[in-house]
Every structure is written in C-alpha cells, then in structure tokens.
Chains A and B, each alone.
Chain A
Amino acid sequence: MSEETARLERIGVSSGWRSKAPVGLLAAAMAVYPWVDARLGLQTLGAMLPICLFVVLALGLNIVVGYAGLLDLGYAAFFAIGAYTAAFLTSPISPLPFRTDFWSAMIIGFFVAMLFGVILGAPTLRLRGDYLAIVTLAFGEIVPRVFLNLERWTGGSRGMNPIGRPHLFGVQFGPSDRIAWYYLILIVGALSVWAISRLHDSRLGRAWMAVREDEVAAASMGIDLVKTRLLAFAMGASFSGFAGSMFASLFQFVDPSQFEFSISILVLCMVILGGMGNMYGVIVGGIILASFDRILADRLTNWIHGVGKAIDWPLLLSIDLTNARMFIFGLALVLLMLFRPEGMLPSRQRQVRRDREGGAVAARLPRPVPTEHEAATEG
C-alpha cells in the first residue's frame, strides 16, 4: 500500500480491494438469498422486503447522524411524508384531482420529503445537538397526527388503500411477486449505496465529517455550517421519502400507526448498532435489528416455548420476545452507549482514534472516548 493510499484510508476514503472484498461478499449473499430461502424453506422472503427497505432508511439516516453528526429523532416523519405522497398520487381514494404512475410518485415523494427536510431544517439546524433532537422529535410526533386527524383526505386511522404498483419491462409487482419486489428493492438499495459512497468521498461528504469533528475548524476553513448541515438533513429526508413511497406500494396500505416514534428509534438503533458513519456497518446493523424485529423475535419465542414444553419449565413458556422488543432495543441503546459507542463496525476515523487512544484498553474502559464533534466544543 503506497503512502498516499494509506493516508486516504486513514481519513476514511475507501480504496483498494482489501476494503471491497467483504462488500462483494455481502452483495453476493444478498443476491442469492431468495434461492437460499426457497431451498432451505425458511419462508422469510416476505419479511426480507421490509427489512431491506429499513436498511435503505438506515442508510439515509446515517447521512444525517453518522456523517453530519446531527441527531434526528423524527426520521419516521419523512418516511410518512413519502408514503402518503405516493398514496395521494396513486391511490384511487385520494382526494387529488389527478393521478400519476408509481415511478413519478416515488420521485415526487423524494422531493416532497426533501422539501419538508429543508423547511424543518433551515431554521433549526443552528440549534445545539439535543435541542435539534427534540425539535425533530416534535416534528415526528406532529406529522403522523396530522395525517390521522385530516380524516377527510387521508381516511384517518382507516388509512389509504390500494396504492399504485411499479411497472418495469412487463414485470409484475403484485403482493405475491416477492422475488420481483426483492430484486427491485435490492437494486434500489445498491444504487443508494453507490450514491451515498460517492457522496461520502465527495467534497460535500468531507465537509460533513469536518463539521461533525470540529465545527470551529471547519467554519474557519470556509465551510458554510448551516448549508452543509441542511444538505445532510435534506438528503437524509429524501432517502426516507422514497423509501416511504416504496413501503406504501409494497404493502398497498398506509396508516398513521406505521410511522410512530418507535420506528424512528428502530432506525436510529440500526445506525448506532452498526457503527455511525460506516455505511457497511449500518447495513449489517440494519439487517440484524430489522430481522430481529420482523423474524427472529417471533421465531426465538416459538423456539423458547418449544424448549419450555420439552423440559416442562413454565417460566420459558411465559417469555414473549415480541412484546419485549422495546425493552431489548432500549437496553441495546444503553449498553452500546456505555460499552461500544462506536458500534460494531466503527467508521475508519473512529477506529483510528480508538487505536490512538490505547486501542482495546480504551475500548474496554466504561468511559468511552469522545468521538462526536462535541468533543471539541465540550468544556
């Protein structure tokens, strides 16, 4: 490895085959998954669709939280805006006088969510981190409630159904065409990964990380703080928006309860678990958490009940992991903050800092190494 490559690697610009091999493996595993699923009779493909969409969501949130260091607790609001945009534009029960096809709706959903991101972000991105988090949380509470209350247009808690389906080269995307949907989402996910990795290495991406690490230094290098943050916020919102419109079309149904606060927290957990700022970490974290949420909690509970019956231990029968999901996510957040705030697969900058501060020893200390941009401004 030349000195130049080593330097680039250190500042987080990915290069070389060494860093790309696991990515290729992951992509290959994802591509053959439907075949494996069918072969082993796992019956998980239906659940894999929302899991993959949640990974796309987590990738978008990673721009906001991981790259730019802004805590967004109302991410589900943009998801809701994207989903309802698609519903308004394609559903036969929509109050709008015109309809579009799904693809246009998805693109419009992308921009509508971005617009709301800008409207919310422009006045609030000057705020301190935790204040910004509360503003986004308040926004995340307002949006689903507005959709719930505007019954005349949105159907309130009855939701909207059906919603337009995508059409592509004569391929059907019906509710039972899981394999078609799977590859569609996979392609969208791959395009997102490509776009985000280009963004990460671009001038803008480096500006995001500079602002996150030390905003005073970044500002004195000529980076416009508010504009840079606003772009991160708007990009994150737009990802959530188009994922929302796909979600609506996939399930053919939107209602306000799909976009509660717990969804924002679930996606945030994915980003933190995987490693804020590391896209591949976020993908792995997203797959783990979403599959726990959608598949494993249920199956583990069945398995524990099976064991409980076999050894005749009623305590095991009373365990229900699906009802304890919030507890498990909450505990995961606390433990991650206490013991491994950089996540499972830390971003390269964090990894470097961890090594510098004493590596494994520092990682084992209960007090984590300051990693956020606040470290520079704290005290």
Chain B
Amino acid sequence: MFSPEILAQVFIFGLANGTVIALIALGYTLVYGIVELINFAHGDVFMIGAMLALTLVGALGLTTGAPGTMLALELLGILLACMVFCAVLNVAIERFAYRPLRKAPRLAPFISAIGVSFMLVNVGLFWKGPSPRLFPHLLPSVDLVQATLGTPVSVAFTTKDLFVILLTAPLMVALHLFVGRTRLGKAMRATAQDREAAAMMGIDVNRTIALAFLLGGALAGAGGFIAGLYNNQVHFFMGFRAGLMSFTAAVLGGIGNIIGAVLGGLLIGIISSYSDFYLDPRWTQVVVFGILIVLMIFRPAGLLGESTPDRA
C-alpha cells in the first residue's frame, strides 16, 4: 500500500493533473493580481475550452491510432484555436460584465462573475448535454520507464504524462518571462501596484487589464484541451470543480504570485492524487476545500504571497 512504487505512481498522476490545475490557477492569479477580483467564471471558461476542443476533434474526425506529424499538427491547431477562443471569450466577459463595475463596491463584480459562471455552465449543458462525454484517446500511452529499462516496472510514466508536462511547462515559462521581462508585462505589474499612478505614467489601464484577462483565458483554453486529452472526459460541470480547485491552488501559492500559482497547482494536484488513492475519490473535494478553509483562516497570504493589506 505504501510501497515506493505506488507512492511514485500516485505522485506522477498528481503531477500531471497538477500542471492543468496550475494553468487555470494562473488565470485566477493574473486577474486577482491586477483587479482584485475573484473571477468566478474562470473555471467555466476552462470548461468551454474543453468542449470546444472536443467539438474540433470531432469535426476533424480525429480518432485513436493515427500517430504521426499530421496528428501532431492538428492537435497543435486545436490547442491554438482553444487558446484564442477562450482568450477572446474572457476579454469579452471582462468588457461587458466586469469593466462597468470597476468603481462599484467589491462584491458587485464578484456577483456578476457568479452570474457569468452560471450562464457558461448552462451553455456547456446545452452544448454537450448533461452526461459526461468521452474525449477520444488521441495520445499514445507508451510507458517510458518500461521502454528505457526494457523490463516491466510497476511505476509507469507514460508518453501521456510527458506530453502534458511538455505542453504546459513552456506556457508557464512564457507567461513568467512575458510578465517579468516585456514592456507589456511591466505595464501589468505597474497597474497591479497602483492603477492611478500607472495611468499617469501613460499606461492604458483598460487595455492592460484586458491583457490580463486575455492571457488568463488563453491559459484556461489550453488547460481545457489538455485536460480533455489527459482525462479523456469532458462534462459541463467540470469547470466549477476545477475552478474551485485551481482557486485553492492560487490561494495556496499566494494569490497574485505567478510562481506561487504553479507551485500551488502542483501541490493541489499531488494532494488530490494521494487523497484519491489513499482515502477515496469521493473525499478528495472535502479534503481540498477543507485545505481552502484552513488556509483562509490561518494564512490567507499563501505560501509565497506577501501579506496583502487587509482593506476590509
């Protein structure tokens, strides 16, 4: 039960799922960092991304057992389409549901975000129906450990796990470099720090905030596609659960902190994986939300966050 092989195997599952959680958590953290809004609809943007990916996979007629460069190119195309679509969707949500409320009391845009979330869930329900839909097994699932060692070992690290990590890691690095090294990234950091001062320095605050939503949406879209490929299942309610898990991850890492969101995502992924295996998948949500409540009480600033000034 507690053999190193099993511990390692569960760890690998957790890591792969954790990278997807981290991708979504980045969207929460980017938006919260800049406008201090918990974008409640973010998880559902991720769900819409997964549904779009499933629709595109169906439209292109992709099925199992057609490896090759053609499949890789098509998958890349779907990934880009999901990212663009979700980015545009997220920016549109910001424009219509949050921007008019920017000067309103804090809870107004948050309630608006809950409303948007409900609308998206219903869209997902209409799009793919009430029951979970199968996402075709498109990725080859070859055990790399066995392939390199030549002998069967009880720990499997498949090409699927590798693919998820290979796809998400560059996105995270790119985001980190973008925010840390580019002029637009600097504008984002300045707007997050002091919106008025940033505006006086000639930064277009509206565009900078929209940029944060654009990046967050793109990552959620990528996350939706990758989650579909990895878990082979999409469901209209997956965004709600994934959204709460990812928000917990963002808080765990320290909300507003990009490295923190990745760290939190991986941790939550690994914790849920161990809870799935050693407790019961039915208790995993209780565990994760319990962590969320305890964190909020004892360390709302998270692992890497500086303590934000408590304004309420």
Give the chain B neighbours of A258 by CB distance below 8 A: none
The smallest beta-carbon distance between A336 and chain B, in angstroms, is: 8
Asked if A27 is at the interface (CB within 8 A of a chain B CB), the reply is: no
- List residues of chain A with CB within 8 A of the CB of B311: 128, 377-378
A257-281 vs B, CB cutoff 8 Å, 1 = contact: the mask equals 0000110010010001000000000
A135-B292 contact given A141-B285, A331-B119, CB 8 Å threshold:
yes
- A148 in the interface, Cβ–Cβ < 8 Å? yes
Give, as a whole number of angstroms, the nearest-CB distance from B21 to chain A: 16
Please give, as numbers and ranges, the residues of chain B lying within 8 Å of A130 by CB-CB distance: 37-38, 106-107, 110
**A124-139 interface (Cβ within 8 A of B):** 124, 127-131, 133-135, 137-139
CA distance A326 to B114 in the complex (A): 11
Please state if A128 and B282 are interface contacts (CB–CB under 8 Å): no
Please, which residues of chain B bring their CB within 8 A of the CB of A128?
106, 310-312
Give B273 Cβ to nearest chain A Cβ, in Å.
Answer: 18
Residue of A nearest to B308 (CB): A128
Question: Cβ of A330 and Cβ of B118 under 8 Å apart?
Answer: yes
Given contact pairs A145-B282, A368-B104, A127 touches B296 in the complex (Cβ within 8 A): yes
Q: Are A330 and B105 in contact, with the CB atoms below 8 A?
A: no
CA distance A215 to B311 in the complex (A): 11
A134 lies within 8 A of B108 (CB): no
Query: Which of A131, A326, A366 is the one whose CB lies under 8 Å from B122?
Result: A326
In chain B, positions 90-137 with a C-beta closer than 8 Å to chain A are 97, 100-101, 103-112, 114-123, 125-126
- Encoded as 1 (CB less than 8 Å from any A CB) or 0, chain B from 234 to 256 comes to 00000010001001100100000
A338: chain B residues within 8 A (beta carbon): 97, 100-101, 112
Complex Cα distance, B292 from A127, in Å, reads 13
Q: For the complex, what is the distance from the CA of A104 to the CA of B307, rounded to whole Å?
A: 47
Cβ of B178 within 8 Å of any chain A Cβ, yes or no, is no
Residues of B with C-beta under 8 A to A341: 104, 108
Residues of A within 8 A of B248 (CB): 138
Q: Are B293 and A124 in contact (CB under 8 A)?
A: yes
Q: Does B260 contact A (CB under 8 A)?
A: no
Interfacial chain B residues near A368, Cβ < 8 Å: 101, 104, 108
Most buried by A among B107, B112, B248, B300: B107
B277 at interface by CB-CB < 8 Å: no
Q: 26 pairs across A/B with beta carbons < 8 Å?
A: A71-B107, A124-B296, A127-B300, A128-B312, A130-B37, A130-B110, A134-B247, A141-B285, A141-B289, A145-B282, A265-B118, A323-B125, A326-B122, A326-B125, A327-B118, A329-B115, A333-B115, A334-B119, A366-B100, A367-B101, A368-B104, A370-B104, A372-B105, A374-B105, A374-B107, A378-B311
Of B105, B115, B285, B296, the contact of A334 (CB 8 Å cutoff): B115
Contact A134 B292 (CB under 8 A): yes
Which one of A146, A337, A372 has the greatest number of beta carbons of chain B within 10 Å? A337
Interface residues of chain A: helix, strand, loop or mixed (majority): helix
Which residues of A lie under 8 Å from residue B121 when comparing CB positions? Answer: 326, 330
Residues of A within 8 A of B (CB): 71, 73, 123-124, 127-131, 133-135, 137-139, 141-142, 145-146, 148-149, 215, 261-262, 265, 268, 272, 323-327, 329-334, 337-338, 341, 366-368, 370-375, 377-378
10 A-B pairs besides A135-B296, A326-B119, A330-B116 with CB distance below 8 A are A129-B312, A134-B251, A142-B285, A261-B240, A272-B111, A330-B122, A337-B97, A337-B109, A338-B97, A371-B105
The distance in angstroms between the C-alpha atoms of A326 and B124, with both chains bound, is: 11
**Chain B interface bracket (under 10, 10 to 19, 20 to 34, 35 or more):** 35 or more
Q: Is the CB of B115 within 8 A of A331?
A: yes
Residues of A within 8 A of B310 (CB): 128
Which residue of chain A lies nearest to B289 when distances are taken between CB atoms in the complex? A138
Tell yes or no: B169 within 8 A of A by CB: no
Instruction: Tell me whether A142 and B122 are in contact (CB under 8 A).
Output: no
- State in angstroms the CA–CA spacing of A328 and B243 once bound together: 21
Query: Is there a chain A Cβ closer than 8 Å to B286's Cβ?
Result: yes
- Given A326-B125, A337-B101, residue A372 in contact with residue B106 (CB < 8 A): yes
CB-contact partner of B118 in A137, A148, A333, A337, under 8 A: A333
Q: Bound complex: CA of A341 vs CA of B111, how far in Å?
A: 10
B256 to chain A, nearest CB (A): 13
**Please, which residue of chain A has its CB at the minimum distance from the CB of B297?**
A123
Inter-chain contact A135/B293, CB cutoff 8 Å:
yes
A215→B119 contact, CB < 8 A:
no
> A145–B285 contact, CB under 8 A?
yes
With a cutoff of 8 Å between Cβ atoms, the chain A residues found around residue B140 in the complex are none
Cα A145 to Cα B244 with chains together (Å): 15
Chain B residues with Cβ under 8 A from A324's Cβ?
A: 122, 126
Q: Is the CB of A142 within 8 A of B290?
A: yes
B278 on interface, CB distance cutoff 8 Å: no
Question: Which residue from chain B places its CB closest to the CB of A65 in the assembled complex?
Answer: B107
Contact A138 B104 (CB under 8 A): no
CA distance A331 to B119 in the complex (A): 7
Provided the pairs A124-B297, A128-B311 are in contact, do residues A330 and B117 lie with their beta carbons within 8 angstroms?
yes
